[in-house]
Amino acid sequence: MMYSLRVTRLLAGNKRPRWFSSEPQVTSTLTSSQIGLITLNHPPANAMGRVFLQQLKHEMKSMEDARCIILHSALAPKVFSAGADLKERATMTMEEAEAFVVQLRTTMQELSNLPVPVIAAIDGVAVGGGLELALAADLRVVSARSKVGLPETSLAIVPGAGGTQRLPRLIGEGRAKELIWTGRRLSGVEAAEYGLATRLVDNEESSLDTAMQLAEEIAKKGPVAIRASKWAIQEGMKKVSMENALEVERQAYARVLPTNDRLEGLAAFREGRTPNYRGE
Ligand SMILES: CC(C)(COP(=O)([O-])OP(=O)([O-])OC[C@H]1O[C@@H](n2cnc3c(N)ncnc32)[C@H](O)[C@@H]1OP(=O)([O-])[O-])[C@@H](O)C(=O)NCCC(=O)NCCSC(=O)C[C@@](C)(O)CC(=O)[O-]
């Protein structure tokens, strides 16, 4: 990996919950430029079971100081995530399966609602809940060799972690229906053509390195402005009328107007230097 990561924190707080007694399946670090890196590391397939989900939630919560977050897999370039843990699922009652899927769906929504940009660096297979996790991120960087899809209907279930809603919003209704009804896996190249990924990297590059470059670029911008613009875009997309949407933009602008960072940006421009933003 191109970047040396200074680990400033592995786990928030001293008290380790019971589920941390098992091997860590999801970990996180914060780089010196305040990029939060969440690593999925549950061989062989980053399957999402109860422990995985608890740890993912925990790591997401420990990211409040991050300016941008990257989700990536330690199992790249083979697999990003194969989705729900189908072996664990086979041991669950119908009620347990229902409760778990609710938790999965809620966690993806919590990820989507994080106040800072989240980038999924996909290198390998991202299917089912694995793709749904990436869809809950703001940006997706995908390697050409990746395979992405929602194969749930092949298992006689529907995508249950937001996929039926996020995929059509992203790539359009027709393409989403076709992918969900056929369970077909797209290559990374096709995913970029469909608009599912915002960046495509070739097989010689790592999607993590590209995601890092993107995150470094974002982390240099005014932190209040990045948070306010994410909020404005997400809130505005929910609103029906343009009048309401523009009111959201006004509210976001009102957040950056009184900041020192705004004055710092103007001063740096005047003095021809790089601004030093402090998020205040
Ligand atoms: C990942 C590849 C491409 C690797 O393909 P491969 O490299 O050819 O390796 P493999 O198929 O031999 O798999 C390697 C190991 O990973 C395991 N594995 C693999 N996937 C899973 C899984 N999901 N859950 C549990 N274990 C899994 C698999 O069982 C095997 O274990 P081993 O036999 O060595 O002990 C292939 O195994 C594959 O295509 N897996 C199936 C993926 C799949 O169908 N995912 C959809 C899950 S459904 C879902 O996500 C539902 C959701 C979230 O929307 C709603 C809900 O929760 O219900």
Asked if residue 247 and residue 212 are part of one domain, the reply reads no
Q: Specify whether 83 is located in the same domain as 37.
A: yes
| Residue pair 207/141 in contact by the 8 Å Cβ criterion | yes
Say yes or no: 95 and 145 in one domain: yes
Q: Let me know whether 134 and 229 are in one domain.
A: no
- Say what the pLDDT of residue 66 is: 97
Same domain, 54 and 110: yes
Predicted pLDDT of residue 246: 80
Q: Residue 152 CA: which ligand 1 atom is closest?
A: 48
Q: Which tokens sit at 216?
A: 């470094």
Establish whether residue 162 lines the binding site of ligand 1, counting it when its CB lies within 6 angstroms of any ligand atom: no
In a domain, 280, yes or no: no
d(CA 219, CA 214): 9
Residue of the CA atom closest to atom 53 of ligand 1: 129
ipTM > 0.90, yes or no: yes
Residue-level pLDDT, tens digit, the chain, 280 residues: 443 333 333 333 344 555 555 689 999 999 999 999 999 999 999 999 999 999 999 999 999 899 999 999 999 999 999 999 999 999 999 999 999 999 999 999 999 999 999 999 999 999 999 999 999 999 999 999 999 999 999 999 999 999 999 999 999 999 999 999 999 999 999 999 999 999 999 988 999 999 999 999 999 999 999 999 999 999 999 877 878 878 888 888 889 999 999 999 999 989 999 999 999 9
Does residue 77 have a cis peptide bond before it, meaning omega lies within 30 degrees of 0? yes
Residue 70 located in a structural domain: yes
Predicted confidence at residue 204, as pLDDT, reads 87
Same-domain status, 215 and 228: no
Q: From the alpha carbon of 85, which atom of ligand 1 is closest?
A: 24
Residue 23: HSE in the Cβ half-sphere, 13 Å Cα cutoff:
6
Question: Is residue 141 domain-shared with residue 43, that is, in the same domain?
Answer: yes
Structural domain includes residue 279: no
CATH code of residue 140:
3.90.226.10
The CB of 152 under 6 Å from ligand 1? The reply is yes
Q: What is the CATH number of the domain that holds 241?
A: 1.10.12
Do 94 and 71 sit in the same domain of this protein? yes
Q: What pLDDT score was predicted for residue 236? A: 92
Q: Is 76 touching ligand 1 by the criterion CB < 6 Å?
A: no
Residue 77 shares a structural domain with residue 156: yes
- How open is the CA angle 184-106-111, to the nearest 5 degrees? 80
Q: How far is the CA of 49 from the centre of ligand 1 (A)?
A: 12
The tens digit of pLDDT for each residue in 92-128 reads 999 999 999 999 999 999 999 999 999 999 999 999 9
- Centre of ligand 1 to C-alpha 77, Å, is 16
* Ligand 1: residue whose CA is nearest its atom 46: 128
* 105 and 228 co-located in one domain: no
Residue ending a domain, choose from 200, 219, 238: 219
Ligand 1 centroid to Cα of residue 82, in Å, is 5
| Residue 253 in domain | yes
Q: Could you give the number of structural domains in the chain?
A: 2
Residues marked active site are found at: 84, 129, 132, 152
Whether 40 is in a domain gets the answer yes
Is residue 247 within 8 A of residue 231, CB to CB? The reply is no
Looking at the domain assignment, is residue 276 inside a domain?
no
- For residues 143 and 259, membership in a common domain is answered with no
Owning domain of residue 40:
18-219
Residue nearest to atom 39 of ligand 1 (CA): 82
Burial letters 182-213, b for 16+ CB under 10 A, else e: eeebbbbbbbbebebbebbbeeeebbbbbbbe
Task: For residue 12, tell me if it sits in a domain.
Answer: no
Q: Is 170 in the pocket of ligand 1 (CB under 6 A)?
A: no
Q: Which of 80, 86, 105, 158 is the pocket-test mutation for ligand 1 (most atoms within 8 Å of CB)?
A: 86
Q: Domain boundary at 204, 219, 234, which?
A: 219
Distance from the alpha carbon of residue 11 to the mean position of ligand 1, in angstroms: 28
- 207 and 228 co-located in one domain: no
